[in-house]
Chains A and B, each alone.
Chain A
Amino acid sequence: DVVLTQTPVSLSVTLGDQASISCRSSQSLVYSDGNTYLKWYLQKPGQSPQLLIYEVSNRFSGVPDRFIGSGSGTDFTLKISRVEPEDLGVYYCFQATHDPWTFGGGTKLELK
């Protein structure tokens, strides 16, 4: 199975700071069609996960442009510029390139 390793496990920030989360895959996530099926989700306390980024760098509808996904192959990053209170929660990367689909272990973003 593809292992997605997220770092850091937790991240303490001050509102207005930038935050950066890494997701490293045990295999390349480039699919045979040339696309890379890597997504980022945010799960706020008591809620279902919400999609932020799909195919590495595409922001889902309504997601603020302070969320930026980047990377290729096996190394991916989610950057959040100017963290706001509604950004707090647990971030997960997710891959649907290889079966079985897998999630990273999560990164908890909290206030310092």
Chain B
Amino acid sequence: EVQLVESGGGLVQPGRSLKLSCAASGFTFSNYGMHWIRQAPTKGLEWVASISPSGGSTYYRDSVKGRFTISRDNAKSTLYLQMDSLRSEDTATYYCATGGADWGQGVMVTVSS
């Protein structure tokens, strides 16, 4: 059974950093591109970033380019999202996903002073 478990969320002040993790199991992690998708409170879904199976290629939405870094450790079957210079508009539940049917349960990030 595929499992994706996010962690690392919490309350952080504007301008500070946070690193999210997503532990994957139940499939060959290194074969799949992985993605972060977020959902602001009471809002819709928004794609944030993607990474290729090897980690050699990364993609970001414009509003997070230069502030967020997606990475992966295939030996640990773990996906990461380093979030720097956080803004209030980054407040959301962050989901990791395989790009198909598999999503984690989400982790909440609140950016507020």
Which residues of A line the B interface, CB within 8 A?
41, 43, 48-51, 54, 60-61, 92, 94, 96, 99-106
Contact = CB atoms under 8 A, between A and B. Distances in A.
Interface of B: 35, 44-47, 50, 59, 61-62, 95, 99-101, 103-106
A51 B45 contact: no
A51 B99 contact: no
Contacts, number: 38
A96 B59 CA distance: 13
Most B CB contacts (10 A, CB to CB) among A41, A43, A100, A104 go to A100
A66 B47 CA distance: 28
Contact of A100 (B59, B95, B105): B59
Nearest to A101: B47
B29 to A, nearest CB: 18
